């Protein structure tokens, strides 16, 4: 199997820099834009019905919908690139002999981009309600969150294996 993109650049330094960017997005950038829009984004939900999606969209002003679409086409494209590279490189470092696992973040990335595209189309076509697209968008939201949770669990297992069990093995020797 082909190595994941950027595998040859995998290093602890790069992983930490990408992690810092993930933190900056989550602590500074997204809260700033959420506050400025004064609206609850659709894509933070694990799953939602078309009714819930349109309840949220109905609560947005026209300016908020436009701002949300722009955000989905800019920040919410850049952020998945950052977290995908962070997760993939971290998995390469944690599981160097099992690089296949480092492909999982790219599935999250694809799910996120499909979800974002669905949200953009829902917002653009408002007030027309596209219920089937809202269902499909919700499915990709759920896939994104489930895969992200799976990757987080794999990363925690990798950290435990690398640091906790390794230090215990050293103490037993």
Percent of the chain surpassing pLDDT 70: 93
**Radius of gyration of the chain, Cα coordinates, nearest whole angstrom:** 19
pLDDT digit string (tens) for 43-53? 999 999 999 99
pTM of the model: 0.89
With DSSP H G I counted as helix, E B as strand and the rest as coil, what are the percentages for the chain, rounded to 5?
85, 0, 15
Mean of the pLDDT values across residues 47-61?
96
């Amino acid at each position: 199997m082909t190595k994941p993109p950027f595998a040859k650049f995998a290093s602890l330094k790069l992983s930490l820099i990408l992690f810092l960017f993930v933190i900056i997005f989550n602590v500074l950038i997204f809260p700033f834009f959420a506050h400025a829009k004064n609206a609850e984004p659709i894509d933070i939900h694990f799953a939602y019905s078309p009714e819930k999606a349109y309840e949220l969209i109905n609560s947005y002003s026209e300016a908020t919908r436009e701002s949300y679409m722009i955000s989905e086409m800019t920040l919410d494209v850049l952020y998945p690139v950052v977290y995908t590279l962070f997760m993939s490189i971290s998995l390469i470092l944690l599981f160097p002999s099992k690089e296949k696992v480092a492909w999982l973040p790219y599935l999250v990335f694809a799910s996120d981009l499909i979800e974002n595209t669905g949200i953009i189309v829902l917002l653009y076509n408002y007030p027309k309600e596209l219920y089937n697209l809202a269902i499909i968008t919700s499915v990709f939201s759920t896939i994104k969150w489930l895969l992200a949770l799976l990757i987080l669990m794999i990363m925690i297992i990798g950290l435990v294996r690398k640091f906790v069990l390794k230090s215990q093995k050293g103490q037993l020797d």
